[in-house]
Amino acid sequence: MRTTIGWRASGPTALRRTSLERRNLRSDDLAVRVDYSGVCHTDLHSLRDHDQRAIAPLVPGHECTGVVTGTGAEVTAFSVGDRVAVGNIVDSCGTCAMCRAGQENFCRSFPTLTYGGTDRRDGSTTLGAFSREYVVRDRFAYPLPSGLDPAAAAPLMCAGVTVWEPLRALGVGPGSRVAVAGLGGLGHLAVKLAVALGATTTVISRTQEKRDDALRLGAHDFLDSTDTRQMAATRDTFDVVIDTISAPHDLAPYLKVVAMDGTLSLLGYLGPVTVEAMDLLVGRKRLSSAGSGGRRSTAEMLQFCADNGIAADVEVLPSAQVETALDRLRRNDVRYRFVLDMSDLD
């Protein structure tokens, strides 16, 4: 085994710096020196669940960028020194209908998650990217296009692709009217991507103070979700509503602003929801969801971001401040994504 250093869970908010083992390189593996690792809401949920069930070791982190430091014997697409990015999926069956359609994120036997997953070949529990080294199958590493800042690009690998896939699948482009509900890690990237795709883009938020940020990010308009008059005035308006609100909430006000035959895409809150069928019936509206991305769209998203100068708005902290980042994320005190600089692990 190889050894590296990382941050391992020792409680609901506590992470301890410790040495970790990585597998020796298989023929199709890359060793990646992790330089930057984004902090995602999933990390908070995983730490909370881990504390309740105290199961396998937990090292969070599933959106990272770094540099290739070693390659397996059969790797041809990458060389030592290449800049790469890794997201929240590190393997899939490769043979089911979803995988064959390029939607490895929906693999019927479930994709292998970057942490807390079960390695398909040796059965070990995967350990995440809050660590100085990650070993990944080459198919699930992506060249980081030149021009993308490696710190600001890290969140593209989870938050970015999670909003990119539905925007693309729903055909968002010039002339589309898009609303983004919730302006956080997912929402701010949804705004940038929708605007760059050519959509007229509106942010819906209950936080008036985010109006200036919304406009700075490129949004054309801002709707205060607590203002029923404003919300009523935009009834049946948006072809696509990207809902990134992470807490449980009433979907009715957001369905009402969807245009006829339009779609509400639920990305932030993935628990049970209640919908009045009449809110779908009137206007033949659709309710959908999505998460993460397949290999093809992940690569497309990175290139689109490089071509359009898009990356996350990040606050970079040394990895030793991981608990500060998690605490502040829990309070939504970040604009808009924390990224850990892993170089302090050397």
By C-beta, is 88 or 205 nearer to Zn ion? 88
Distance CA 256, CA 237 (A): 9
Nearest approach, Cβ of residue 66 and Zn ion (Å)? 17
Please tell me whether residue 177 adopts helix, strand or coil conformation.
Answer: strand
By C-beta, is 100 or 284 nearer to Zn ion? 100
Nearest approach, Cβ of residue 143 and Zn ion (Å)? 21
Among 93, 306, 316, 317, the residue binding Zn ion under the rule CB under 5 A is 93
Among 31, 90, 99, 203, the residue binding Zn ion under the rule CB under 5 A is 99
Stretch 40-59 residues interacting with Zn ion (CB under 5 A): 40, 42
Classify residue 147 as left (phi > 0), alpha (psi -120 to 50) or beta. Answer: left
Binders of Zn ion: how many residues, by CB under 5 A?
8
Nearest approach, Cβ of residue 102 and Zn ion (Å)? 11
Nearest approach, Cβ of residue 291 and Zn ion (Å)? 9
Instruction: Indicate whether 96 belongs to the interface with Zn ion (CB under 5 A).
Output: yes
By C-beta, is 99 or 264 nearer to Zn ion? 99
User: Residue 126: which residues within 8 A CB-CB, separation 6 or more?
Assistant: 90, 112, 113, 114, 115, 116, 117, 118, 119
Stretch 11-40 residues interacting with Zn ion (CB under 5 A): 40
What are the structure tokens assigned to 95, written together?
Answer: 């043979």
Nearest approach, Cβ of residue 103 and Zn ion (Å)? 9
By C-beta, is 96 or 231 nearer to Zn ion? 96
By C-beta, is 237 or 289 nearer to Zn ion? 289
Instruction: Indicate whether 107 belongs to the interface with Zn ion (CB under 5 A).
Output: yes
Stretch 128-187 residues interacting with Zn ion (CB under 5 A): 158
Residue type, 215: L
Beta-bridge partner residues of 236: none
Rounded to 10°, the helix 295-308/159-169 angle is 100
What are the structure tokens assigned to 172, written together?
Answer: 């968002």
Nearest approach, Cβ of residue 109 and Zn ion (Å)? 6
User: Residue 251: which residues within 8 A CB-CB, separation 6 or more?
Assistant: 243, 264, 266, 273, 274, 275, 279, 287
By C-beta, is 6 or 160 nearer to Zn ion? 160
Closest CA to 141 of 60, 65, 36, 39: 65
By C-beta, is 93 or 299 nearer to Zn ion? 93
Using CB under 5 A, which of the segments 17-25, 68-76, 107-115, 317-325 binds Zn ion? 107-115
Total Cβ atoms within 10 A of residue 105:
24
Nearest approach, Cβ of residue 187 and Zn ion (Å)? 14
User: Residue 226: which residues within 8 A CB-CB, separation 6 or more?
Assistant: 206
The binding site for Zn ion (CB under 5 A) comprises 40, 42, 92-93, 96, 99, 107, 158
